[in-house]
Structure 1
Amino acid sequence: MVGDYAVIALYVAAMIGIGWVGMRLARTKSDFLVAGRRLGWFMYSGTMSAIVLGGASTIGGVGLGYTHGVSGAWLVLTIGLGILALHAFFARRLVKLRVYTVSEMLDLRYGGSSTVIAGVVMWGYTLMLTVTSTLSFATVFHVLLGVPSAVGIAIGGSIVVLYSVLGGMWSITLTDIAQFVIKTIGVLLVLLPMSLVAAGGPDGLAERVPPDFLDPTSIGGATIVTYVLTYGFGLLIGQDIWQRVFTARSPRVATGGGLLSGAYCLVYGVAGALIGTAAKVLYPDLGNADDAFATIVAELLPTGVRGLVLAAALSALMSTSSGALIACSTVTTTDVLTRLRGASTDVRTNRITTLVLGVVAIGVAMAVDDVVAALTVAYNILVGGLLVAILGGLVWKRGTRAGALASMVVGSVVVLVSMAVHGLLANEPIYYGLGASLVCYVVVSLLTPRTDPEVLAAWDQRTSGAGPVPETALEDTVGGGR
C-alpha cells in the first residue's frame, strides 16, 4: 500500500496548496462567496459536476449497481436531469439576479421579507448535507489507514475546512477542478474499463448476471419517480447548487457549462451502475452493497492505480462537503447575520463563520452513527416546502408573497406529518407535501392582491439584465464597502 499512500498524500497536499492559492484570490466578499462571479465554461462545468457528484453518486451509485444492475444508475441520472433542467430553463435569469442566496431571490420576487422560513429550511438542509458528507470520510480513511471512524472524520473534515476557510469559493472551485479531473480519470478511464474487462466484457457480463440486471427500469417506477422529485427537483432549488450558478461569468457561460455538466452526470451515473454490476459478477457475496466500490478497488487494481481511484472517491466526498459548507456559511452570513447586524458581512466574518460551522459539522458527524434520516427530512422539507414558492416565482407572475408563505408553511408541515405517519424514508411525504404546497400557492395567490407592480417591474428589470447592479454585487472590499 506504500504506493497508494504516496498518491493519497500527494493529493491531500495538493488540496491544501490549492487552498492557499485561493486565499490570495479571495480578497472581497464576492470572491469568497461566489468566486468573484468570474468563472468561464470549463471551470464552471467542472465545479458544477464536482459539487453534485459526491459520495452518494460514486460509492452509493456503485452500490445501487451491485444491487439492481443498470437500473441502479437512476439516482445519478435524476441528478443529471435536474442539472440539465436548471440550466436549460432558469440559470440565465439566476445569474442576472446577482444575489448570494435563494432567500434573497424570494425577497426580490415577492417584496418584503419572505425569507425567514426559507432561510431556516435552507440552513438546516445545507448543514445536514455538510454533516453527511463529512461522516462519509470515516469509510474512506478506515480503508486507507485502518483508523477509527472519529479519526477519519477529523482528518477528512479538517482538510475540507482548512481550504474552505482559506479561500472560500475560489479555493473550493480550484480544488473542485482538480477533483473533477481525478474523478474522471479514476472512475471513468480506469475503474470502469478494468471492471468490465475483469467481468468478461459486455457479453460476458450479460451472461453472468440475472436478466433483471439489464432492465433499466427494474429498480421500480415508484423509486424512479421519488428520485426525480427528491433529487432532481432538489437540485433546482438547493443553495449549494445555486451558489455555483452565481459564480458564472455570464448567463451564456452558466447555460452552456451547466448543460455540459448535466451530460457528464448522465455518463457518470451509467458508469457507476456498470461498475457495480461488474462487482456483482466478481464478488457476488458481499454483505453490504456499499462495500462494492472499496472491494473492487482493493481487489482488482494494482498499487498506485488503486491509490488514484481511492483519491477519486475522496475527491467526490470533499467536493460535496466543501460545497455544502460554503453554502451553509453563506446562508448564515447573508440571511441571518446581515439581518441581525443591519449591515453586510466582510471576508473576515465569512471566514470565521465557515470555520465555526465546519467544526460544528465535524463534531455532529462524530457524535452520530447515521444522519441519512436527518438528511432525508431536510431534503423532503426543502422540496415539499420551498420548491413551489421558488419555481412559482420564476414562472408565474400572479404568485404573491402570501401565496408563497402559505405554500412554504403548509408544505413543510404536511411533509413532517406525513413522515411521522408513513416513516422517514417513505415516498408519500414528498408527494403529499408538494401537492399541498402547490394547492396553497395557487389558491392563496388568486385570493390575495397581486404583487406590487413596482416590485414586479424591478424584478423584470433585474432578470432581464437591464436593472441596476445590486449593492451586494458591488461589495468588493474586505470591509464590505464599495
Structure 2
Amino acid sequence: MNWLDAAVVIAYLVGMIAFGFWGSRRAQDSSDYLVAGRRLGPMLYTGTMVAVVLGGASAVGGVGLGYKYGLSGFWLVGAIGVGVLILSAVFAPRLQRLKIYTVVQMLTLRYGSESIQVSSIVMLAYTLMLTATSTGAYASIFVVLFGIDRWLAILIGGSIVIIYSTMGGMLSITYADFVQFIIMTVGVFFLMVPFGLSHAGGWGAMHDRLGAEFFSLDGMGFESIITYFVIYTLGLLIGQDVWQRIFTARTPKVAQVGGIGASVYIILFGIAGAVAGMTAAVVLPGIEVRDEVYARIATEMLPAGFGGIALAAAVAAMMSTASGGLIAAATVARTDVMPLLRKVLSGAKPRILNAEEAAEQARDNAAREEDVENDMNRNRIWVLCLGIVTMVLSLLVPDVVAALTIAYDILVGGLLIAIIGGLVWTRGNSAGATWSMITGSLVTLAVMAFLEINAEQRFDGVYANEPIYAGLAVSAIVYIVVSLMTKPTAPDVLAAWQDRSANGVREDEEVVTPA
C-alpha cells in the first residue's frame, strides 16, 4: 500500500476524532445530542441523510455489482434512493412536525397503547446489527490498508466511531457526515469515474470491449432487482437511523426538499459506482471477489494520494452508517426499551391510553427533573456502552451479514404494516397494530427457519425473499381484519395525533424528550 494513500486515510480518521471534541463543546442538551437541536438547514440535512444511508453496501458493493453486471449494478443503490424519495416526499414533513425521537414514540402517539412498545426490541436489534455490520466492513479495509489483524482493525475503527459519537452525539455526527458526504462525492464522482473512464479508453471503447448485457438495466436479473427494493426500499421507510435524521430538520419543508435532493444524489451515486465498476471490468479483468473491486480501483487505477481519498470515501460511507446506527440504537434503548423492561419487571400490564397519556408516555419525567449535564452524561453512557457491544458483536458473530438480514426481515415483515398503516389509515387501531407486529414477526421467523433448514435443496436460507413476503402478507391481513373487528382508536387520541402531525407542536405544549 502506498504510504501517501495510508496517510490520507489516517488524516481522515484524525479529523473524525476532532469532530467529536468540537461537538462535545457545542452540544448543550439532549436535543442537540440526539437530533442536532432540530435545526439543520437544507445543505447539512441533505449531506447527513446521504451519508447515513450510503454505507459499505452502497459504495463498495455498488462498484462490485457494476464490475459483475454493468449498469444494472446501480439497482442496489437505486433502491435505497427510491426509499429515501418516498419517505421524504410522502411522510417526512409529518414526522418532523411530531417533535419526537423514535419510531416507537410515533406508534404510541398514533395508537394510544403501551403494547406498541414491544416493537422497540426489534428496532434495537436492527440498529445494533446495522452498526456491527458497518464496523466489520470498514475494519476489512483497515486490514488491507495497514496490514493488521481483524480484531485490531475493529478495535481501532470502532473506537474512533465511539469517540466522536459519544462526545458530541448527533451534532458531531452531523458535521462529520457532511465532511464524509464531500469525501464520498470527490472520491467517486471526481476521481474513480473520470480516471476509470480514462484507463478504459472512454465510453466507446467500453462498448467495444464489454458485452451488450453490461449496458442493460436488467442485466442482473429481475428477481435480484426486486430483492433490493424489498429489503432496502421498504426497510428505509421505517428504520430508526433514517427517521432520526428526519427529526434533525429545521422545518417540515427542509425534511421534504432536502430528502428529495438526497434521493436524487443517491441514485446518481449508484450510477457512478456502477460505471466505475464497469471501467474496472475493462482494465482489471479476473477479480474473483467483487467486494475487492473498489479497493483495486483505488490502489491500481488512481494516482498515489488520490487513491487514499477514494479509500477514505469508502471508509466514510461505512463509518457514517455505523455512527448513525449507534446513536439510533442508544436512543431506542434509552427511550423505548428500558421503560418497557421496567414495566415488565414491575408486573404492570399494557394499557390503552387517552390522548394526554399517549403524549406523556413518550416523555421522560426523570430527565426533566435532572440538570442538563447529568442528562447529557446518561446519553453518552448509553452510546459508549452500545458502541462496545457492537464491537464485540463484530468480533464474535461469525456472519454479521446474516444477522443483519434477519433483523431487516423482521423489521420489514413485522413492523412495516403497523407503522405505515398508522400514517395512512385512520381506522387502524392498537389491537390491529399489535397483532400485526406479532404475527408478521413470527411468520417471518418461521418461514426463514424453514428455508434455512432446507437451504441445501433449492432455497437461499436466511437470504431468501420469501420470509419478508410471507410476513408482510400475514401482517397486512391481520392488521386490517383485527382493526375492523375491534374498537377504533379513541377519538381524542386520533384527533390529537392528526392535529400534531398536521400542525406540529404548539408553543405551550411540551416537546417529547428521551426517557
Counterpart mapping for 1:60-459 below 5 A: 60-338=61-339, 340=342, 343-345=365-367, 346-422=375-451, 423-459=461-497
- 1: CA distance, partners of 2:237 / 2:9: 34
- 2:162 maps to amino acid: V
- 2:476 maps to amino acid: L
- 1:16 maps to amino acid: I
Which stretch shows the higher mean deviation, 37-46 or 148-157? 148-157
CA contact under 8 A between 2:48 and 2:174: conserved in structure 1?
Answer: yes
- 1:239 maps to amino acid: Q
Shift of 1:442: 0.6
- The runs of 5 or more residues in structure 1 that have no matched partner are none
CA contact under 8 A between 2:428 and 2:488: conserved in structure 1?
Answer: yes
Which stretch shows the higher mean deviation, 19-28 or 371-380? 19-28
SS at 1:64 equivalent: helix
CA contact under 8 A between 1:240 and 1:324: conserved in structure 2?
Answer: yes
Q: Deviations over 1:100-153 (max 9, x none)?
A: 000000000000214332101000000000100011122110121011111111
- 2: CA distance, partners of 1:466 / 1:184: 35
- 1: CA distance, partners of 2:208 / 2:195: 18
CA contact under 8 A between 1:70 and 1:273: conserved in structure 2?
Answer: yes
Which stretch shows the higher mean deviation, 335-344 or 66-75? 335-344
SS at 1:473 equivalent: coil
SS at 1:287 equivalent: coil
CA contact under 8 A between 1:82 and 1:231: conserved in structure 2?
Answer: yes
Structure-1 residue corresponding to 2:458: none
Q: How much is the aligned-residue C-alpha RMSD, in angstroms? A: 1.6
Aligned residues: 477
Shift of 1:210: 1.9
Shift of 1:301: 1.1
- 2: CA distance, partners of 1:2 / 1:232: 39
Structure-1 residue corresponding to 2:370: none
Shift of 1:290: 0.8
- 2: CA distance, partners of 1:418 / 1:208: 44
SS at 1:451 equivalent: coil
Q: Deviations over 1:143-181 (max 9, x none)?
A: 210111111111111100000000000000010011000
- 2:248 maps to amino acid: T
CA contact under 8 A between 1:66 and 1:280: conserved in structure 2?
Answer: yes
Which stretch shows the higher mean deviation, 2-11 or 351-360? 2-11
Shift of 1:351: 0.3
TM-score (norm 1): 0.96
- 1: CA distance, partners of 2:510 / 2:4: 48
Runs of 4+ in 1 over 4 A off after TM superposition: 469-472
- 2: CA distance, partners of 1:9 / 1:286: 27
Shift of 1:275: 1.0
SS at 1:171 equivalent: helix
Shift of 1:317: 0.9
CA contact under 8 A between 1:385 and 1:409: conserved in structure 2?
Answer: yes
SS at 2:94 equivalent: helix
- 1: CA distance, partners of 2:279 / 2:467: 35
Q: Deviations over 1:347-393 (max 9, x none)?
A: 11110010000011111111233211110000011011011000000
Percentage identity across paired residues of the two chains? 50
- 1: CA distance, partners of 2:508 / 2:235: 27
Cα distance change, pair 232–6 in 1 and its aligned pair in 2 (3 A)? same
Shift of 1:233: 0.9
- 1:460 maps to amino acid: Q
CA contact under 8 A between 1:34 and 1:169: conserved in structure 2?
Answer: yes
Cα distance change, pair 474–394 in 1 and its aligned pair in 2 (3 A)? closer
Which stretch shows the higher mean deviation, 330-339 or 146-155? 330-339
Q: Deviations over 1:248-293 (max 9, x none)?
A: 0000111110000000000000111111111111122112111111
